Structure 1
Amino acid sequence: MSIAHLLEDFKLQPDDSKLHLLDEDALEEQRLAAFEQGYSAGWEDAVQAQEQSRGRVSDELARSLEDMSFTYQEATTRMSLSLEPMFQSLVDVVLPETLNRGFAARLVEQLCEMAQEQINQPMQIFVPEGRVAEVEALLPQDLSSSTRVREHAALEPGRARLQVGTSQRELDCSSLLTSIAAAFDAYVFEAKKALANE
């Protein structure tokens, strides 16, 4: 049995014989219109692809910059924390020794400044126990002979009291050291907190 009856017949039927033939000019116009349409579609595709590419590059650049920023901050924080033992020894050992060595010199400097304000007035320096000889050795020879250095049991190390006439001044190197230590502790705390939040 044949299956020809199932297939469509594409032969020209006598009533469908109206073929429309184009002349050369009409055919050229159709070709140009098709070219323009294809060119426009291609141009739009190229512009769209370029915008997508630009957007993708911008996103990748933003991510890369963000990663670099994060990496830099993390590296800076880690470096700061690795220096913590050195900074801790500076605060605990070096600064106290430096302040201790400069204590007598600072007293003399303050005393000279006060003496200029109140000329020919008796001068007294009250220092912690055990510091009298060190301070006396640093006193300038041209100070008036009425300068006296006395121990005061209530004064803590790093503190002193100066008196010239009626003017008094206190010197407290230990509070400076305490404030430096507190600032260092706050910095280390913030650095550790920033590293923990990453």
Structure 2
Amino acid sequence: MTRLNLEDFSAPRVEEPEARPEPFDAQDIRLKAFEEGYKAGWDDAAAAEAESHARITADFAKTLQEMSFSYHEARAHMLAALGPLLSAMVERVLPQIAAAGFARTVVETAMQLAETQAERPVRIRVCPENRAALEGLIATDPGLPLAVVEDDTLGPGQALVSAGTVENEIDIDGMLSALRTALDDFLTTQEETRHNG
């Protein structure tokens, strides 16, 4: 006889554990989320920094351009306002100052020449209208071998001081003329620059 083997249901049954899905690693998920968030934040910060830098650079360039324009405009207006004052000084004030110091300058030049050329008399050639003023200054020191000579070819702001072969020229008229020309040229250039931008 064959025996039949039947399963015994009376005994407690031992069940095989079900195959569970692998438990997820919460720490790993958190790290990945943190890294993704950090990278996104870093990218946003870099983009914001680049945008901020571009905006600041543009604002700075605009401000510099406005300042440069304002400076040049203010300078042009100032020179335009000062032009008549400077011209008046060159035409009226400086000639008076030069005329007042002309005689003293001639005498000082003659004294310096007398020191270096002691063995030779010093001749001062001036226009006739300056002779009296120079002789008045020279008379205060009679020990100098000076001679004042009139020269019709010289102007009121000119003198030639000579001793032997050495000759010094004093030309206040020429200096004032050169100063007038330089000032006129400067003001003309500034006016043209202002009109032409």
Matches for 1:1-198 after TM superposition, within 5 Å = 25=24, 33=32, 36-139=35-138, 141-144=140-143, 146-198=145-197
Instruction: Name which one, 1 or 2, has greater alpha-carbon Rg.
Output: 2
Offset of residue 126 of structure 1: 1.4
CA distance in 1, matches of 2:111, 2:150: 19
Q: 1:20-65: per-residue Cα shift (whole Å, max 9, x none)?
A: xx87627886676566445533431232122111211121112112
Relative to structure 1, the CA distance from residue 27 to residue 157 in structure 2 (aligned partners, 3 Å threshold; closer, same or farther) is: same
Work out the CA distance in 1 between the residues paired with 2:139 and 2:28: 111
Shift, 1:177, TM fit = 1.0
C-alpha change, 1:43 and 1:146, in structure 2 (3 Å) is closer
Please state how far the C-alpha of 1:138 moved relative to its aligned partner. 1.1
1:189: how far off?
2.3
Rounded Cα–Cα distance in structure 2 between residues aligned with 1:34 and 1:122: 107
Point out where structure 2 has 5 or more consecutive residues left out of the alignment: 1-20
SS at match of 1:83: helix
1:126-164 per-position Cα deviation (integer Å, ceiling 9, x unaligned): 111211111111115334465322221111221112222
User: Using the alignment, how far apart are the partners of 2:110 and 2:27 within structure 1?
Assistant: 108
- TM-score (norm: length of structure 1): 0.76
Distance 1:166 1:43 in 2: 88
Q: Which runs of 5+ in 1 are unaligned?
A: 1-21
Q: In percent, how many aligned pairs have the same letter? A: 33
Change (3 A) 1:122 1:39: closer
**How far apart, in 1, do the equivalents of 2:25 and 2:146 lie?**
121
Contact 1:91-1:177 within 8 A present in 2 as well: yes
Distance 1:30 1:145 in 2: 111
Distance 1:111 1:135 in 2: 11
2:12 corresponds in structure 1 to: none
Q: Give per-residue Cα distances to partners, 1:53-85, cap 9 Å, x unaligned.
A: 121112111211221122122212211221111
Task: Measure, in 1, the Cα distance between the counterparts of 2:31 and 2:82.
Answer: 75
1:82 partner amino acid: A
Q: TM-score, normalised by structure 2?
A: 0.76
